[in-house]
């Protein structure tokens, strides 16, 4: 049987061990006689699942005590509205939000935030992080929003925190597609958010990590169920949380700890990405468009120079069990998403195929 490797950008591959454990526990969680799906979110069984997930995520990312972790619904996109709705209450009319635009996801964030405040695009490029010294930041901006891994275009970065201008800025980061794949200093951020379906678990859970002094600043029109302070004060149970998704996310957090945590994921991500980019760089048959310093280690967009071969490339990949390599419709080409749950063997199989396809095509 062909081994299947799933390169989907999201919903994406999950660790096999996690899926097997969830299957084994599907009908009867830990002798409770219930599936996790059937449990009250306020019962002791689910509360224990929730607390373990929260604790493990806090440990994995070394989240400081003055930060709350919220398990919300609505996906990454809803945060583009919920963050202004939650952070602008203390700002008199005329608040400006600064953005770093590096691709489709930050572009969406800018558009949505424009419904609630003035927006300033402080820097813009879809193939590299614009040099930080050139960012045109607004003095007194409500916050600075960035997407530190652009899932579609493949630009990834961490800001330079030595920049004195970042000292007094509340930084908001969309880490949907690379959270838990590299070590970060949470204390440098005001808010970190991530939809779960890329690197954490099934779609339906959105993680928000927020410094506690930012709570309680919601605009009056902010929906109660999405008011970060209400959600935090109620341990993410102001309304019914996405219980099954939180359970699977919790199993993924346990798996990550067993594998060696975020430092080990970072080491693996670098190794997997190097393998793939080296193969692409060594070939005249393929192209990449992102500046090497900002190449994503999670989402690797690439192009066949001869795009008339795209369909044949995808068909051949599928026949080998290399699935969901088609690039996002807005940019075309190919994209290999190589999240935490993608083993290096999957990337090796892809590299073998890349080389063979190129060799056969030039014959
Ligand atoms: C997938 C993604 C989103 C959107 O997530 P939804 O759950 O579909 O709302 C937002 N930001 C980034 C960086 C993403 O990769």
Residue 255 annotated in active site: no
Residue 194 alpha carbon to ligand 1 centre in Å: 7
- Is the distance from the beta carbon of residue 151 to the nearest atom of ligand 1 less than 6 Å? yes
Q: Assign 217 to helix, strand or coil.
A: coil
Give the tens place of pLDDT for each residue, 217-270.
Answer: 999 999 999 999 999 999 999 999 999 999 999 999 999 999 999 999 999 999
How would you classify residue 328: left for phi > 0, otherwise alpha for psi between -120 and 50, otherwise beta?
A: beta
CATH of 17-258, one of 1.10.10.60, 3.40.640.10, 3.40.50.12780, 1.10.287.610: 3.40.640.10
Give me the residue label for tokens 């070939």.
Answer: 283
15 closest CA partner among 255, 300, 297, 345 = 255
Tokens of 114: 């424009």
What are residue 128's phi and psi, to 5 degrees? Answer: -165, 160
Residue 161 alpha carbon to ligand 1 centre in Å: 25
Residue 115 annotated in active site: no
Residue 195 alpha carbon to ligand 1 centre in Å: 6
- For the CA of 78, the nearest atom of ligand 1: 9
Q: Which residues pair with 295 in a beta bridge?
A: 155
- Is the distance from the beta carbon of residue 105 to the nearest atom of ligand 1 less than 6 Å? yes
| Per-residue model confidence (pLDDT) at position 328 | 95
Q: Hey, whose CA ends up nearest to atom 5 of ligand 1?
A: 76
- For the CA of 150, the nearest atom of ligand 1: 13
Listed by start position, the domains of the chain span 17-258, 261-361
Q: Sheet containing 67-72: give its strands across.
A: 67-72, 206-211, 191-195, 171-174, 143-147, 96-101, 118-124
CB 357 within 8 Å of CB 284: no
Binding residue numbers for pyridoxal 5'-phosphate:
105, 151, 174, 197, 239-240
| Per-residue model confidence (pLDDT) at position 119 | 97
| Per-residue model confidence (pLDDT) at position 90 | 77
- CA geometry: angle 151, 78, 296, nearest 5 deg: 15
* Among 68, 91, 198, 326, the one annotated catalytic: 198
- Is the distance from the beta carbon of residue 76 to the nearest atom of ligand 1 less than 6 Å? yes
Residue 45 alpha carbon to ligand 1 centre in Å: 30
| Per-residue model confidence (pLDDT) at position 1 | 59
- Is the distance from the beta carbon of residue 159 to the nearest atom of ligand 1 less than 6 Å? no
- Is the distance from the beta carbon of residue 177 to the nearest atom of ligand 1 less than 6 Å? yes
DSSP state at residue 156: B
Which CATH number describes the domain made up of 261-361? 3.90.1150.10
| Per-residue model confidence (pLDDT) at position 2 | 75
- Is the distance from the beta carbon of residue 178 to the nearest atom of ligand 1 less than 6 Å? no
Rounded Cα distance between 169 and 252, Å, is: 32
Residues of the chain with pLDDT under 70: 1, 92-93, 363
| Per-residue model confidence (pLDDT) at position 92 | 62
340 closest CA partner among 279, 280, 257, 278 = 257
Taking the CA atoms of 89, 91, 94 and 95 in sequence, report the sign of the dihedral they define: negative
Taking the CA atoms of 206, 211, 215 and 221 in sequence, report the sign of the dihedral they define: negative
- Is the distance from the beta carbon of residue 148 to the nearest atom of ligand 1 less than 6 Å? no
């Amino acid at each position: 049987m062909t081994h299947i490797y799933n390169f989907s950008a999201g919903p994406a591959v999950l660790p096999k061990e996690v899926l097997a454990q969830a299957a084994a526990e599907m009908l009867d969680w830990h002798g409770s006689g219930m599936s996790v799906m059937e449990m009250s979110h306020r019962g002791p069984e689910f509360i224990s699942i929730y607390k373990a997930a929260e604790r493990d995520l806090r440990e994995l990312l070394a989240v400081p005590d003055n930060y709350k972790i919220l398990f919300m619904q609505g996906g990454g996109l809803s945060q583009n509205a919920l963050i202004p709705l939650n952070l602008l209450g203390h700002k008199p009319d005329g608040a400006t939000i600064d953005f770093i635009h590096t691709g489709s996801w930050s572009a969406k964030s800018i558009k949505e935030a424009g419904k609630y405040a003035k927006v300033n695009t402080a820097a813009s490029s879809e193939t590299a992080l614009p040099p930080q010294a050139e960012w045109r930041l607004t003095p007194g901006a409500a916050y600075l929003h960035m997407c530190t891994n652009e899932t579609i275009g493949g630009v990834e970065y961490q800001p330079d925190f030595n920049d004195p201008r970042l000292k007094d800025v509340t930084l908001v980061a969309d880490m949907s597609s690379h959270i838990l794949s590299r070590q970060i200093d949470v204390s440098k951020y005001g808010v970190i958010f991530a939809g779960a379906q890329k690197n954490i678990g099934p779609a339906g859970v959105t993680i928000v990590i927020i410094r506690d002094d930012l709570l309680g600043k919601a605009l009056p029109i902010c929906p109660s169920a999405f008011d970060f302070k209400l959600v935090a004060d109620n341990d993410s149970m102001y309304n019914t949380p996405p219980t099954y998704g939180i359970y699977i996310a919790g199993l993924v957090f346990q798996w990550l700890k067993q594998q060696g945590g975020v430092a080990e994921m970072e080491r693996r991500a670098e190794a997997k990405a190097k393998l793939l980019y080296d193969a692409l760089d060594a070939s005249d048959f393929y192209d990449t468009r992102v500046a090497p310093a900002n190449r994503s280690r999670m989402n690797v967009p690439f192009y066949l120079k001869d795009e008339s071969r795209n369909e044949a490339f995808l068909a051949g990949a599928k026949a080998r069990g290399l699935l969901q390599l088609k690039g996002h419709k807005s940019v075309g080409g190919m994209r290999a998403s190589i999240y935490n749950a993608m083993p290096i063997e999957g990337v090796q199989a892809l590299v073998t195929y890349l080389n063979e396809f190129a060799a056969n095509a030039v014959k």
